[in-house]
Chains A and B, each alone.
Chain A
Amino acid sequence: MNSSWQRFSRWLKAHLVLIGGLLVIVYMFIPISVVVLMSFNKPDSKLVYKFDAFTLQNWLHPCADPSMCHAVRRSIEIGLLATIVATVLGTLMAFALVRHRFEGRGAANLIIFMPMASPEIVMGSSLLALFVASGFGGQLGFGTILIAHIMFCLSFVVVTVRARLAGLDNNLEQAAMDLYATEAQTFRRITFPLVFPGILGAALLSFSLSFDDFIITNLNAGNTTTFPMYVWGVAQRGVPMQVNVIGTLMFIISIVIVVGAEINRRRQEKALA
Chain B
Amino acid sequence: MTAAVVAETTGASPHPEPQEHSPKRKLTGYWLLLPGGLWLIVFFVLPLYSLVATSLYDPDGSVLQGYDMTWAFSNYWHALQDYWSPLVRSLVYGAVATFICLVLGYLLAYAIAFKSGRWKNLMLVLVIAPFFTSFLVRTLSWKLLLRDDGFIVNTLQFLHIVGADGRLLATPVAVIAGLVYNFLPFMVLPLFASIDKIDHRLIEASSDLYSRPAVGFFKVTWPLSLPGVVSGTLLTFIPAVGDYINAQLLGSPKQRMIGNVIQDLFTKANDYPAAGALSVILMLLILVMVLFYVRRAGTEDLL
Contact = CB atoms under 8 A, between A and B. Distances in A.
Direct A–B contact present (CB less than 8 angstroms): yes
B134 A231 contact: yes
Nearest to A232: B136
Nearest to A93: B36
B135 A126 contact: no
B54 A119 contact: no
Contact of B30 (A32, A99, A102, A112): A102
A227 interface: yes
Interface in A202-234: 208, 211-212, 214-215, 218-219, 227-228, 231-232
Interface residues of A, number: 91
Interface in A221-262: 227-228, 231-232, 235, 239, 243-244, 246-247, 250-251, 253-255, 258-259, 262
B272 interface: yes
Given A20-B111, A38-B144, A219 B267 contact: yes
Given A93-B32, A111-B37, A34 B44 contact: no
Given A118-B238, A119-B241, A246-B137, A17 B107 contact: yes
Given A34-B141, A126-B48, A255-B129, A121 B244 contact: yes
B39 A121 contact: no
B262 A125 contact: yes
Interface residues of B, number: 91
Contacts of A154: 36, 39-40
B26 interface: yes
Interface stretch (B115-123, B154-162, B202-210): B115-123
B41 interface: yes
B293 to A, nearest CB: 11
A22 interface: yes
A35 B43 CA distance: 35
Contact of B33 (A49, A108, A214, A247): A108
A141 interface: no
A117 B53 CA distance: 21
A235 B262 contact: no
Nearest to A24: B108
Contacts of A127: 43, 47
Interface string B265-278: 01100001001100
Interface in A162-208: 208
A28 interface: yes
Interface centre among A109, A119, A148, A235 (most CB of B within 10 A): A119
B212 interface: no
B130 interface: yes
Interface stretch (B12-20, B72-80, B222-230, B279-287): B279-287
A251 B4 CA distance: 47
A89 B54 CA distance: 30
B89 interface: no
Given A21-B107, A31-B141, A127-B47, A122 B279 contact: yes
Contact of A212 (B33, B112, B135, B140): B135
B214 interface: no
B99 interface: no
A31 B129 CA distance: 12
Given A121-B259, A122-B51, A92 B43 contact: no
Given A96-B30, A96-B32, A262 B125 contact: yes
Contacts of A79: none
Nearest to A107: B37
A133 B135 contact: no
Contact of A117 (B50, B115, B238): B238
Interface string A8-47: 0000000101101110110111111011001000000000
A247 B123 contact: no
Contact of B3 (A104, A115, A211): A104
Contacts of A247: 133-134, 137-138
B36 to A, nearest CB: 4
B74 to A, nearest CB: 19
B282 A254 contact: no
Interface in A97-155: 97, 99-104, 108-123, 125-130, 132-134, 137, 147-148, 150-151, 154-155
A239 B275 CA distance: 30
Contacts of B235: 116
16 contacts: A17-B114, A17-B115, A24-B107, A28-B130, A49-B144, A89-B35, A115-B40, A116-B235, A119-B239, A119-B259, A151-B44, A215-B244, A219-B266, A250-B133, A255-B129, A258-B125
Interface of A: 15, 17-18, 20-22, 24-25, 27-32, 34-35, 38, 48-50, 89-90, 92-93, 95-97, 99-104, 108-123, 125-130, 132-134, 137, 147-148, 150-151, 154-155, 158, 208, 211-212, 214-215, 218-219, 227-228, 231-232, 235, 239, 243-244, 246-247, 250-251, 253-255, 258-259, 262
Given A28-B185, A92-B35, A258-B129, 5 more contacts: A17-B110, A20-B108, A21-B111, A108-B37, A120-B239
